[in-house]
Structure 1
Amino acid sequence: MQPETIKQLIEQGMPGAKAQVAGDGHHFEAIIVSDAFEGLSMVRQHQLVYAALGDKMREEIHALSMRTLTPAQWEAMQQAR
């Protein structure tokens, strides 16, 4: 599976989300920004991403490291650079 495919799956499964995904075909890293994360624990945020990926998470994606952020957190992170 390609990083772009994972990006598309996340963004389709989580309307309004923006994702950046990098990886080597087996191991992937993702940054996902979504209003849906507001007020949720990190575990619940990750569950939303896993739900968007569905069976692909078990069958085709062997490892996914992710950072989930609200738009405000993303903006603050960008300004801190």
Structure 2
Amino acid sequence: MADPTAQEVRDYIAMGLPCEHLQVEGDGRHFFATIVSSEFEGKSRIARHQRVYQALGDRMREQIHALSMKTLTPAEWAQAPQAPQAPASSHHHH
């Protein structure tokens, strides 16, 4: 079986889990997913990951060990510090 692309992994997760936000990066061997879903409300991190594995089903059983993920509820996502778009101004030169 060919290695899935990041887009395919994203599609698999989206098919099995309604997400507010879903981003998958990867090179075919290792993937990193940011998943925001209201289904994660009140669930532990382990339970959230199991929910994602469930969404992926058999499609990625072989590759699943290469998937690291950040699972957030919409509320947590809203509070999470997003990657700054502007250059960080933490360095002051005098």
- Tell me which interval the TM-score lies in, with the shorter structure as reference length: 0.7 to 0.9
Aligned CA RMSD, in angstroms, stands at 1.9
CA distance in 2: counterparts of 1:51 and 1:61, whole angstroms: 11
Contact map agreement 2:20 2:74 (CA 8 A) in 1: no
Unaligned runs of 5+ in 1: none
Q: What is residue 71 of structure 2 aligned with on the other side?
A: 68
Structure with greater Cα Rg: 2
2:80 corresponds to 1:77: yes
Return the alpha-carbon distance in structure 2 between the equivalents of residues 79 and 21 of structure 1. 16
Q: Which residue of 1 aligns with 2:59?
A: 56
Superposed, 1:1-81 pairs within 5 Å as 1-78=4-81, 81=84
CA contact (8 A) 1:26 1:61 kept: no
Q: What is the TM-score of this pair, normalised by structure 1?
A: 0.87
| Secondary structure in 1 matching 2:43 | coil
Tell which has more relative contact order, 1 or 2 (C-alpha 8 A, sep 6+).
1
Match of 2:90 in 1: none
